[in-house]
Amino acid sequence: MGDAFIRHIELLGYEKRFFPSQHYVYMFLVKWNDLSEKVIYRRFTEIYEFHKTLKEMFPIESGDINIESRIIPHLPAPKWFDGQRSTENRQGTLAEYCYTLVNLPHKISRCLHVVNFFKVRHDDMNPVTDSLIKKPEVFLLPKDSKKNPTDITGPIVLQTYRAIADYEKSSTSEMTLKAGDMVDVVEKSENGWWFCQLKNKRGWVPAAYLEPMDGPDESEEQEPNYAGESYVVQKSYTAVEEDELTLREGDAIEVIHKLLDGWWVIRKDETTGYYPSMYLQKAGEVNISMKRELRKWDAPPRRSTIRNAKSIHKQGRKQISQETYRRNSKKYIQTQNKTNAIIEKNEPQENKAKAQPAVPPRPSKDIILNRCTESTRRKIL
């Protein structure tokens, strides 16, 4: 058999990875002349370096001598900062590039530079990941878009939020904001920290500092659930504000309202108050890595601690007072207790035999003779 060469390259989509740091890799299905098919993963910066070398190897075909002689496809340079939007946007161009590359004259499409770049590497078979941080997220191209390399769906539109006050980052993973900054939210975490990007910057920002452009996003928050969900405290916290609760690791509580800023309203016995959601874990779930991560993170700021009178958080958002939480929570518990008491009270009565109706006394002979019919009177005569 002759030398190996590539018959077809198909872009499958891309992966968002979190180890050793957050980055994106494209997934390709490479079909070889021996009918084998392999999946490989490449960063765009690698693909661009491959492209630059290919142009240097074939200056005529790359148009360096005469632009009209160019047959090697164009490929845009990577941005200084590549986020999910640019990764998604670039798929159409990249799919068309691979399609054109494989169909170039054999001296280019079957050269060692092309063959070696698309060969399976050790990392392709064993991707470097760390499940303790976060598993990679896979974004596959729709089937319809694979039929035509130029028919690629548009980018995912990220939500834009505005910073309502200045925020100074306290760690390298966070991002500093100025009041009025417009950021794109890449990921919303229930713990109240959102991953955002602003031009060439990206990092975690407290959700309490962000508000949507159009109006308060209270529709994203669930309504209070006074039945409560069972959770267990994973990290102790000492209350700073009057409406917060002090709890110890291992305490069993009930969550009755999940708020976007990462401070949930919880119930401990008949007491309610705010507690950082990142320090809670659903009852019955076991996550050892979570406890390790908690040591690195502090609770995010609460909305009520940010002084900004113009914020729509205060103007348009439906506010529920702590007294309302307590009253409704207490009312729910009392209703449940009353219902249980009625059931317990009724159970013994249901088990008892039903009382028989009293038998009326037999009428006297005089009453029968005076009030009954002729046939009845004959029976006693």
Q: What is the pLDDT of residue 58?
A: 95
Question: Which has more confidence, 364 or 208?
Answer: 208
Share of the chain above pLDDT 90, in %: 29
DSSP string, 269-330: TTEEEEEEGGGEEETT---HHHHHHHTT-PPPPPGGGS--TT-HHHHTSPP--HHHHHHHHH
Instruction: Report pLDDT digits (tens) over 308-339.
Output: 645 655 555 567 888 888 888 888 777 777 76
pLDDT at residue 150, rounded to an integer: 41
Whether this prediction's pTM lies above 0.75 is answered by no
Token pair in block for residue 150: 């130029």
The least confident of 63-72, 96-105, 123-132, 231-240 is 123-132
Q: What is the pLDDT of residue 293?
A: 60
* Banded model confidence at residue 199, pLDDT cuts 50, 70, 90: confident
Sequence spans of domains, the chain: 6-139, 229-305
Q: Is the distance from CB of 87 to CB of 24 less than 8 angstroms?
A: yes
Please determine, for residue 218, whether its predicted confidence score (pLDDT) is greater than 60: no
* Residue 224 pLDDT > 50: yes
Second CATH level (architecture) for the domain 6-139 = 2-Layer Sandwich (3.30)
Query: CA–CA separation, 145 vs 155, rounded Å?
Result: 13
Token reading at 12: 């499958």
Q: What is the DSSP letter of 193?
A: E
Query: How long, in residues, is the chain?
Result: 381
Which residues have CB under 8 Å from 326's CB, separation 6+? 271, 272
Q: Return the CATH fold of 229-305.
A: SH3 type barrels. (2.30.30)
The answer to whether residues 218 and 204 touch, using CB atoms and an 8 Å cutoff, is no
CB 207 within 8 A of CB 163: no
Q: What is the pLDDT of residue 149?
A: 45
Check residue 7 and give its pLDDT.
93
Q: Count other C-beta atoms under 10 Å from residue 354's C-beta.
A: 7
Whether 172 has a pLDDT exceeding 60, the answer reads yes
Cα–Cα distance measured from residue 376 to residue 381, given in angstroms and rounded to the nearest whole number: 9
How far is 130 from 149, CA to CA, in rounded Å? 33
**pLDDT-based confidence at 231, cuts 50/70/90?**
very high
Q: How far apart are CA 140 and CA 15, in angstroms?
A: 8
Q: Which residue has the tokens 């113009």?
A: 310
Amino acid 227: pLDDT = 86
Please write the tens of the pLDDT for every residue from 86-107.
898 899 999 999 999 999 999 9
